[in-house]
Amino acid sequence: MKPTDEQTAAADSFRAGSHLALQAGAGTGKTTTLSFLARATDHRGCYIAYNRAIAQDARARFPSTVRCKTAHALAYAAVGHRYTRRLNAPRRPAWQTGQALGITKALRIGEREVTQKALSNATLRTVTRFCHTSDEAITRHHVPRLRGLEDTDLHAQLAAHIVPVARKAWADLQQPDDGLVRFDHDHYLKIWALTRPRINTDFLLLDEAQDTNPVVEQVFLNQRDHAQLVMVGDSAQAIYQWRGAKDVMTGFDGTRLTLSQSFRFGPDLATEANRWLHLADAPIRLTGSPAVPTELGPVARPDAVLCRTNVGAMAQVMTLMAAGPRVALAGGGDSLQALALAARDLKEGRRTHHPELILFPSWGDLQDYAAHDPAGRDLQPLVNLVDTHGTDAILAAVAHLTPEPHAQVTVSTAHKAKGREWPRVLIAEDFGRAHYDNKSDEAANPQPPDPIDDAEARLAYVAVTRARQRLDLGGLSWIHDHPDGTPPR
């Protein structure tokens, strides 16, 4: 395929030896463009893929002069192989690990009792959060904020107990042969990053740069003195900050270019995408392909239904199953099953290990927290779903999910849909935002709707750009009535 003017400009800049940040909008062929760059030189390169599947696909598309690896694969080859015995160790409950590290009793903080199991879970999550950063040591800001202990002073009390144990756990993980803590892939990635490794290559290509963990960003930027750096991504698809990812493109010191011609969808959908790009204050606008006549309008039989939350996805699964089609859930039903089992434990008077619900002694406490505490508002859909259908019905629905290749419709969160596409897409109702409606104490005194924040706009942009043939805005249709919903020409 003949390269576009934008792809040619990127190749020219690459051949000139520039460090390059390439903003590539949805469907603009970023992997094709990176392959085009790699074929424009005889130099040796390394392509860092977001996951193993992307790396495998890239090997068939890149020339033999380019290694296609994930950051974890590079780390494993360098240091991770020394920990093979620990990687294959059997799983063990977090509370057993915590007990081995010295956590033997519950802790009272404010009005909450933090159980031994909750402390153990928080300790292991602290280590995981540390491993995603570029930090040299574990400190209090790596300790997760537990439900009910969000207050700064309460969190400080929790951190004072967690940090010493987490540091002990990290010291244990340095031992190659055996230890108390179960070793996983993020551990050797962090160990590798702390050695300040040098990747022997002439140029380095970083894919999905907008969702790079700081630990990988640090390794990538440290190659600048000896390798040409090229990062490609879409800042408007930076939707993983909540789990530690960082848009490294924004502050990158290099030539900035764009890919704005989408080959996935047509002009009408590009206009819709640009609405959300404007709201997200993104540095790019898209042009649709006239050869792809994508339509916007009602979709009776969608190939995919995209939801904002896991709970919204579960509600969609149950609604669709009741109507008869074979339903798949992107990524499988494990996370939903875990939530339903946690809810069942609470309803039956048992505490749960689930990290989101671990501090609640009963279902009634969770109901009260979701209904009356502003910090628990996002749990209200889960409470409503369980109170409406019951945990047994939810677990039965998960058990009857169909593998995607055999399903008639796939339900996915927008997060799990990133990088994917379907012919006909419906946006689920949990994207509706009630607080965007006009609010008033009296009908005669309407108040302006709340502004749309960047994170909401970015997630909506990801959702609407998954369709090739037809998009039903569904739960995002409120944007037509919002005063900020019409972007400037």
b (16+ CB within 10 A) / e for 425-441: bbbbbbbbbeebeeeee
Q: Which pLDDT score, from 0 to 100, does residue 446 have?
A: 57
Q: Which pLDDT score, from 0 to 100, does residue 246 have?
A: 60
Residue finishing a domain among 157, 182, 207: 182
Look-up: residue for tokens 């709970």?
311
Instruction: Put the strands of the sheet holding 295-296 in their side by side order.
Output: 295-296, 467-472, 422-427, 304-307, 409-413, 327-329
pLDDT digits (tens, 9 = 90+) for 131-175: 999 999 999 999 999 888 888 999 999 999 999 999 999 999 999
pLDDT digits (tens, 9 = 90+) for 184-239: 999 999 999 999 999 999 999 998 888 888 999 999 999 999 999 999 988 888 77
Please indicate, yes or no, if residue 281 is contained in any of the structural domains. no
For residue 374, pLDDT beyond 80: no
**Are residues 477 and 356 located together in one domain of the fold?**
yes
**Are residues 317 and 389 located together in one domain of the fold?**
yes
Q: What are the distances in angstroms from CA 117 to CA 93, 128, 183, 480?
A: 9, 17, 19, 47
**Are residues 220 and 314 located together in one domain of the fold?**
no
- 3 state DSSP class of 185: helix
**Are residues 397 and 415 located together in one domain of the fold?**
yes
| Total domains in the fold of the chain | 3
Q: Taking residues 97-124, what's their average pLDDT?
A: 91
Q: Which pLDDT score, from 0 to 100, does residue 108 have?
A: 93
Residue finishing a domain among 156, 182, 208: 182
**Are residues 39 and 164 located together in one domain of the fold?**
no
pLDDT digits (tens, 9 = 90+) for 341-363: 999 999 998 888 887 788 788 89
Mean confidence (pLDDT) of the chain? 89
Structural Rg of the chain based on CA atoms: 24
Note down the domain range covering 362: 287-434+452-481
Output the domain CATH number for residue 387. 3.40.50
Residue finishing a domain among 182, 209, 228: 182
**Are residues 117 and 158 located together in one domain of the fold?**
yes
Output the domain CATH number for residue 208. 3.40.50.300
b (16+ CB within 10 A) / e for 127-145: bbbbbbbbbeebeeebbbe
**Are residues 229 and 253 located together in one domain of the fold?**
yes
Give the pTM.
0.81
Question: Strands 20-24, 228-233: parallel, antiparallel or unpaired by DSSP?
Answer: parallel
Q: Which pLDDT score, from 0 to 100, does residue 247 have?
A: 66
Confidence label for 460 from pLDDT (cuts 50, 70 and 90):
very high
Please indicate, yes or no, if residue 420 is contained in any of the structural domains. yes
Question: Strands 255-259, 409-413: parallel, antiparallel or unpaired by DSSP?
Answer: unpaired
Confidence label for 436 from pLDDT (cuts 50, 70 and 90):
very low
Please indicate, yes or no, if residue 231 is contained in any of the structural domains. yes
**Are residues 220 and 330 located together in one domain of the fold?**
no
Distance CA(367)–CA(345), nearest Å, equals 14
